[in-house]
Amino acid sequence: MLEAMQSFLTSDGFMPHGMCYLWEPKLLWLHVGSDALIGLSYMTIPPLLAYLVWRARGIMREGRPDADDRGLPHEWVFVAFAAFIIACGITHFISVLTVWRPYYWVSGTAKATTALISFATALALPPLLPRVFDLVRTARDSSRNVRELEAYVDELARSHRDLNDFTRVASHDLKAPLRGIDQLASFVLEDAGDVLPEASRDDLRLIRGRVKRMEALLAGIDEYAQIGRRFNRVCEVDPAAALTEALQHWDPDRRFTLDLDRGLPPIQGDPQTVRSIFTHLVSNAVKHHDGDRGVIRVTGSADASGITYQVEDDGPGIPSESRERVFELFQTLRPRDEVEGSGLGLAFIRKAMENVGGSVRIDAGSTGGTRVVLHWPADAGHHPVRGAGTSIADPEDERALSRGQDEPTEHVTLGG
């Protein structure tokens, strides 16, 4: 074995390659420099291929912690190319060596190894060509899909702008003629009320009532459309303040008792949105109650998943078959002539909760009334606001709703 190795590395009887160059310095260093630079260039390619495979594996695992580590499709192709390139680089380094040392057995063996690797790689590549063509077609189709998706996005953006324009017209420009109709009906009642028959006076009052209903409907549409469009100024909101303010507005006669649980957890969110959510819940409880007096009980709890609030009244309740329908736009359980409402309150609540990644549902209350369960996720304060625009929140309202955030919430009973 040792003799075979010595024979393999022997240089006896051979002359170095430099003699073929007649030891001409310029010619010799031209070949030496070229072979050395080619060899170094070849050796830099395999590390880049290894980094490419490693980084591609990482990209494939991004967002998929449970994904297995089977590597890239046809990863052996990268290995074959790396081996071929390393062998090519070695042959050029040996060529530099044989300029001074005639190790031609070593040089020939390196070239034979390179030939075998390159030949095997060449044989293995043709079966992959159909798959490469499939990848090209996939890339072409993906590019076409991206262009189509961009066109859809542009169309959606235009539709969104048109919807915003319509909402602005409906919530502002349509209010002016409504106010004019209301004023005309009021003037007729004042000027000719004494001479008009009672039926005519009732008709004029009915017109004014319908105008008020339409104004409330337009205000509700505007409020619904504003969800996610304004910039939400996220801060810690005291729900007790929002609930108390809502009850004072909707129950000026103090017929209802607001029973707040001790230690209600604060909410991280937009103060105006939180206030609107609780205002709609309180107004529904007051308007749809079937008794002279009522109780609105509010409890809250916090855990790792977020904050859950339960707002329960002792009214007539909502039938189980209607608990999902009431979240649809303009849906009311009773005619508007019996209970005035826009049918937008619960739709607003659902959209506002979903906008921050939360949820809302309706259950049966413990006393037969309605229990609305609201869940704010733990990251609601950091949830991206879809289509955020200009803030229209009132800083004074935000400070009022945020008051008490540094103080513990006590059990309180209001009204009654």
Mean pLDDT for the stretch of residues 367-396: 64
Asked if residue 385 belongs to a domain, the reply is yes
Torsion (CA) 106, 109, 113, 114 in degrees, nearest 10: 70
Q: What is the CATH number of the domain that holds 314?
A: 3.30.565.10
Band of pLDDT at residue 399, cut at 50, 70 and 90: very low
- Stated pTM of the model: 0.53
Mean pLDDT for the stretch of residues 382-406: 43
Q: Are residues 400 and 261 in the same domain?
A: yes
Arithmetic mean of pLDDT over the chain: 80
Lookup result for tokens 């494939």: 60
Q: Please tell me the least confidently modeled range out of 186-200, 327-341, 369-383.
A: 327-341
Backbone angles phi, psi at 244, to 5 degrees: -65, -45
As a whole number of angstroms, the distance between CA 344 and CA 322 comes to 15
Asked if residue 181 belongs to a domain, the reply is no
In this structure, are residues 151 and 202 in contact, taking their beta carbons and an 8 Å threshold?
no
Residue 93 CA, chain-centre distance (Å), reads 55
CA neighbor of 376 nearest in space, from 397, 360, 365: 360
Q: How many CA atoms lie within 13 A of 412 on its CB side?
A: 13
Burial class (CB in 10 A: 0-12, 13-18, 19+), 143: exposed
Number of domains into which the chain is organized: 2
**Structure confidence at residue 340 (pLDDT):** 62
Band of pLDDT at residue 360, cut at 50, 70 and 90: very high
Band of pLDDT at residue 161, cut at 50, 70 and 90: confident
Q: Please tell me the least confidently modeled range out of 20-34, 93-107, 123-137, 309-323.
A: 123-137
Work out the percent of the chain whose per-residue pLDDT is above 90: 17
Cα 187 to Cα 73, 176, 209: the distances in Å are 81, 16, 15
Longest dimension (CA), the chain: 138
**Structure confidence at residue 90 (pLDDT):** 92
Band of pLDDT at residue 275, cut at 50, 70 and 90: confident
Band of pLDDT at residue 208, cut at 50, 70 and 90: confident
- Asked whether the predicted pLDDT for residue 138 surpasses 60, the reply is yes
Q: Please tell me the least confidently modeled range out of 34-48, 130-144, 293-307.
A: 130-144
Work out the percent of the chain whose per-residue pLDDT is above 70: 80
Q: Are residues 253 and 386 in the same domain?
A: yes
Asked if residue 174 belongs to a domain, the reply is no
**Structure confidence at residue 144 (pLDDT):** 86
In this structure, are residues 196 and 365 in contact, taking their beta carbons and an 8 Å threshold?
no
Mean pLDDT for the stretch of residues 114-126: 86
Asked if residue 134 belongs to a domain, the reply is no
DSSP code of 322?
G
Backbone angles phi, psi at 120, to 5 degrees: -65, -40
Band of pLDDT at residue 171, cut at 50, 70 and 90: low
Q: Which of 83, 107, 124 is the last residue of a domain?
A: 124
Lookup result for tokens 């022997």: 10
- Asked whether the predicted pLDDT for residue 244 surpasses 80, the reply is yes
In this structure, are residues 260 and 243 in contact, taking their beta carbons and an 8 Å threshold?
yes
In this structure, are residues 380 and 269 in contact, taking their beta carbons and an 8 Å threshold?
yes
Q: Which of 78, 103, 124 is the last residue of a domain?
A: 124
Structural domain for 375, as ranges: 227-415
Q: Which of 96, 124, 152 is the last residue of a domain?
A: 124
Asked if residue 175 belongs to a domain, the reply is no
Mean pLDDT for the stretch of residues 36-51: 91
**Structure confidence at residue 35 (pLDDT):** 93
Asked if residue 90 belongs to a domain, the reply is yes
